[in-house]
Amino acid sequence: MAMMRLRREDPRVVGTFRLHRRLGAGGMGVVYLGSDKRGQRVALKVIRPDLAEDQEFRSRFAREVSAARRIRGGCTARLVAADLDADRPWFATQYVPGPSLHDKVNEEGPLSPAQVASVGAALSEGLLAVHDAGVVHRDLKPSNILLSPKGPRIIDFGIAWATGASTLTHVGTAVGSPGFLAPEQVRGAAVTPATDIFALGATLAYACTADSPFGQGSSEVMLYRVVHEEAQLAGVPDALAPLLASCLAKDPADRPSTLSLSLRLKEIAAREAHGLSGGPLESGTGAGAGWERRLSERPTGRRAEEYARQRTERRTGGSTPRPHSPRPAAPRDAAARPSGPASAAGKGPRTGGRAARGAPAARPPGRNGSRTPVRTTSGGRRPGPDRRLLRQRIIVFVVVTLLVALGIAAAQGCQGPTSGLGVERPAPVASYGGVGAGGPWGAGEQIP
């Protein structure tokens, strides 16, 4: 999540929380990154001053915060604290690290069917807990879904509607995001859990195609399409298209229930992941079991290139040739072609690419299977089999030399006390004390 520096008008302390950065701003207020005395990080939203002066808004906001306290589930950001009587009401939720679904798709391209189904299954479980608490989110969209290391999280219940709350909306406040809100929201009708099902279907369609199922345009155009036109699901995979089409039905009664949607997405996630990896899913509980591994699977090269080309066309308004990655030129002769473990690491033999610059080719392996040393990534050399063999040969040579020298010395000692020059040779004396007071031969020993 992108962070910005605090501005002059931003507060530095709110309640018991110290503010550090700006996380974003919306129709209701500004969201900050804060922390308490224990170091717990929170996302703290401060309501706009003009809304804080509206008593009707304060009453509705108090009911919604009370409803948010009742939500229990692992797929939502837990409410930590709130102050409804402050000059500018605020509430703090658990800070969720990780990019939003919107940012991930915008930067890396559409997700695979297994990834979309896995994320959708976890989100439907989260919505099930939200609806069981009597709350409707009303603004579910890709930017309000964070992909944390522990699974997707639903955030920003700022315009959520609780059972018994007024359905009136203050003039100037947002009631949803065009392209992701349900037709009944546009008409001003009552919202139900089916409203969030429509938004989830549009969000999963965005994850599949990197675009809203109702296209792009002004707010008026988008709202008209939501009410009067069918969703465009041409780029949605066949495994998900029928289910998402039912979620985007105009009539709320035709949409699947939250529980039914969760079960069907789990089945699709298991089937698609099984087909991708050739094996069953990892063991775990909940819809998010193994979701992070599947989400980290990047699209193939052709898919990434196709998505980059489409993004370029949307920005420039014209068509651009599809990029081609140049194939590396083959070596001219067999001697210059790298082989062995060095080539597997992407470097030339022995010299790490010296043959490619015109240096002599590396020597072939020896008779004993010795190979050239492998150059590590840090620049050093890792001893290979040839160095170990060289050390063994040196040790054998030293041992043999010592044995020969001892044999020669023993043979000369058997010839007599004199050497070939006629000079009397003293008998060897054992030394135990090193250099001492008696001389270098031992303690108290004298040279004859």
Domain edges within the chain: 99-314
Query: What is the per-residue pLDDT for 25?
Result: 83
Each residue of 288-315: pLDDT tens digit?
445 455 555 545 445 556 656 666 665 5
Query: What is the per-residue pLDDT for 122?
Result: 93
Q: Give how far the C-alpha of residue 4 lies from the chain's centroid of Cα atoms, to the nearest Å.
A: 22
CB atoms within 10 A of CB 205: 27
Q: Are 133 and 70 contacting, i.e. CB atoms less than 8 angstroms apart? A: yes
CATH class of segment(s) 99-314: mainly alpha
Query: What is the per-residue pLDDT for 135?
Result: 84
CA atoms within 13 A on the CB side of 22: 13
Query: What is the per-residue pLDDT for 169?
Result: 40
Cβ density class 11-25: b for 16+ within 10 Å, e for less: beebeebebeebbbe
Residue 73 DSSP SS3: coil
Query: What is the per-residue pLDDT for 201?
Result: 97
CA–CA gap between residue 176 and residue 310 (Å, rounded): 28
| Alpha-helical runs (H) found in 382-447 | 385-413
Q: Which residues make Cβ contacts (< 8 Å) with residue 241, sequence separation at least 6?
A: 233
CA atoms within 13 A on the CB side of 67: 24
CB atoms within 10 A of CB 179: 25
Query: What is the per-residue pLDDT for 302?
Result: 52
Both structure tokens of 238: 């066949």
Q: Are 144 and 98 contacting, i.e. CB atoms less than 8 angstroms apart? A: no
Q: Which residues make Cβ contacts (< 8 Å) with residue 98, sequence separation at least 6?
A: 1, 146, 147, 148, 149, 153
DSSP at 85: S
Q: Distance from first CA to last CA of the chain, Å, rounded? A: 90
Q: Are 1 and 99 contacting, i.e. CB atoms less than 8 angstroms apart? A: yes
Residue 138 DSSP SS3: coil
CA–CA gap between residue 135 and residue 120 (Å, rounded): 19
List, by residue number, the catalytic residues.
139
Q: If we measure between CA atoms, which residue out of 404, 402, 121 comes closest to residue 286?
A: 121
Q: If we measure between CA atoms, which residue out of 85, 195, 78, 176 comes closest to residue 129?
A: 78
Query: What is the per-residue pLDDT for 323?
Result: 45
Query: What is the per-residue pLDDT for 317?
Result: 56
Query: What is the per-residue pLDDT for 297?
Result: 52
Question: Residue ranges of the chain with pLDDT lower than 70?
Answer: 1-2, 73-74, 158-176, 275-386, 414-448
Confidence (pTM): 0.59
Question: 345 φ, ψ to 5°?
Answer: -85, 0
